[in-house]
Chains A and B, each alone.
Chain A
């Protein structure tokens, strides 16, 4: 049964409460976050590697933590019904993976357009043929311009913290945008690791729909359907102008999220060894592999630094320019074939020939730290033909 929970303010829950060490999977960490997030409603549709977390959230519903939970018809229906629940003033959660993300694609810009603070977890996996259920984060590149905020978790600990913090950031009146919290499937969801959790008898304050910068749907008072009709393009100047300025407002809202991301996530990026001339820049699990690669390089007397990008949208442009100002070499390892993170980085840095796009793995391959270290050594010593 549900345990009695006490409402505490976000500052206490996220930054101050004493934490207890646990040994759990990323999927379990997701459920632990939802348990403490005072979520009203969740809708699920199973897909590997997301299924376990939404199953666990179903168990939270059975115990009484959520007011409603059900299985949708498919991912599009899930994202649409979550949108409706959010319009109605509820705090909502759902999650999906790879092909599920693509099936639901139409709804993500709609969430952002109607300014709903929906939090959705994405357990990234392969989307191509031949089919792969293995970790790959190419779907993130397809969501870069949906208007959602995007955080990329490195570990189960990150996944827990980012989901909980996503609600607090998303619901700031000056932000009020959906947040996608991404983690590489299996490498985070199915990996058992140490995660520090605040007490389970604490929860965030309930969502206050009155904080929304747009009128909430009032389901109690007729007429119930007060739509935001001006956003539907009519054939007149005002209508087009309203639509265009609304797009700008969504981008501006994402910009205004930066200070809240700084506050709660401790910055849009994290820098290890800031004085290095060689940097690995990565997000998600590639960061963990890179941390290990730094150990390999250090043993061989090569000094390198690491930049972990936590927030993909908004993207830490100025922070990245500053952190790499003295860098001669920037290596970007990724878990996808496209190399989208390297493209993002190249787009904001001067002298972007410093940026090496790779090494990259996909289709279920692992990303050995040795491979990242080798990429750096090749550039330093022998060009691409360097043999150890």
Chain B
């Protein structure tokens, strides 16, 4: 990958778009790439529009702030499109030619005809994934929606490897000091309990990621 990849994640406050971006950016840096990650949200909290932007490149990245011309757009909730809960209208504004859109929805949304025409002009690939349902079924909580969205992303394009994503998850939830099971044996019981929890959390989330990558379907229009 020699070009810069810009990913815009649009969702609702509480869905974990900031954490998903953080984990993806960390995974990219684990692989020796450059990445910057930044969120954008207002003073409102849950269910208000929240976006985050991930830039990944082999070159140094200077630019920061909102991504106006994304290669990939990840929509974490249908309301981003149907209720316009995002900072850009229409939701695919700025999408680059041959771009990718991944939408969290159990079934294809009724998009407007002219929107679909514009997407066809861009030769955009549109994917749907029941990310929240997968998070509940596999991870046991809708809090893993952001993980199934990342799974959906990896199912469509390998921006980062599964191993790098696992390392990034471990860093995020293990506070950077997470150690694999071989070392946990040496820790006392209390600590071990804590580390086991973290290990379970990571495994559960990776399961969500891996399952989700199989459940992303391309919409033919």
Contact = CB atoms under 8 A, between A and B. Distances in A.
A314 B217 CA distance: 59
A131 B39 CA distance: 19
A289 B35 CA distance: 15
Given A48-B43, A186-B40, A191 B29 contact: no
B36 interface: yes
Contacts of A193: 36-37, 64
Q: How large is the interface on B (under 10, 10 to 19, 20 to 34, 35 or more residues)?
A: 10 to 19
A192 B37 contact: yes
Contacts of A288: 62-64
Given A131-B43, A192-B36, A192-B38, A285 B65 contact: yes
With most chain A CB atoms within 10 A of its CB, the pick from B29, B42, B63 is B63
B26 interface: yes
A131 B43 CA distance: 9
B25 interface: yes
Nearest to B26: A23
A194 interface: yes
A186 B68 contact: no
A292 B40 contact: no
A112 interface: no
Q: How large is the interface on A (under 10, 10 to 19, 20 to 34, 35 or more residues)?
A: 20 to 34
Contacts of B38: 186-187, 190-192
A379 B131 CA distance: 49
Interface string A346-381: 000000000000000000001111100000000000
The 3 closest A-B pairs by CB, nearest first: A191-B38, A366-B66, A291-B62
Contact of A191 (B26, B42, B43, B64): B64
Contacts of B65: 135, 187, 285, 289, 366-367
Contacts of A369: 63
Contacts of A292: 62-63
Given A186-B39, A289-B62, 8 more contacts: A23-B25, A131-B43, A187-B38, A192-B26, A285-B65, A288-B63, A366-B66, A368-B68
A345 interface: no
B85 interface: no
A296 to B, nearest CB: 10
28 contacts: A23-B25, A23-B26, A133-B42, A135-B65, A186-B38, A187-B64, A187-B65, A190-B38, A190-B39, A191-B36, A191-B37, A191-B38, A191-B64, A192-B35, A192-B36, A192-B38, A193-B37, A194-B29, A285-B64, A288-B63, A289-B64, A292-B62, A292-B63, A366-B65, A366-B68, A367-B65, A368-B68, A369-B63
A289 B36 CA distance: 13
B36 A133 contact: no
Nearest to A188: B64
B22 A192 contact: yes
Given A191-B37, A191-B38, A368-B68, A289 B43 contact: no
B211 interface: no
Interface of A: 23, 48, 131, 133, 135, 186-187, 190-194, 285, 288-289, 291-292, 366-370
Interface string B161-196: 000000000000000000000000000000000000
A193 B60 CA distance: 11
Nearest to B28: A23
Contacts of B42: 133
B34 interface: yes
B13 to A, nearest CB: 13
Nearest to A156: B36
B38 to A, nearest CB: 4
Nearest to A193: B36
Interface in B6-45: 22, 25-26, 29, 34-40, 42-43
A370 B42 CA distance: 25
A23 B32 CA distance: 11
Contact of A289 (B25, B40, B63): B63
Given A48-B43, A133-B42, A133-B43, A194 B63 contact: no
A330 B65 CA distance: 24
Interface in B36-64: 36-40, 42-43, 62-64
Contacts of A289: 62-65
Nearest to A370: B68
B212 to A, nearest CB: 23
Contacts of A366: 65-66, 68
Nearest to A365: B66
B166 to A, nearest CB: 16
Contacts of B35: 23, 192
Nearest to A292: B63
A194 B34 contact: yes
A186 B26 CA distance: 18
A135 B39 CA distance: 12
B80 to A, nearest CB: 18
A291 B62 CA distance: 6
Contacts of B25: 23, 192
A62 to B, nearest CB: 15
Contacts of A194: 29, 34
Interface in B80-108: none
Contacts of B68: 366, 368, 370
A109 B56 CA distance: 43
A23 B39 CA distance: 15
A295 B63 CA distance: 11
A187 B29 CA distance: 19
Contacts of A133: 42-43
A46 to B, nearest CB: 13
A190 B50 CA distance: 13
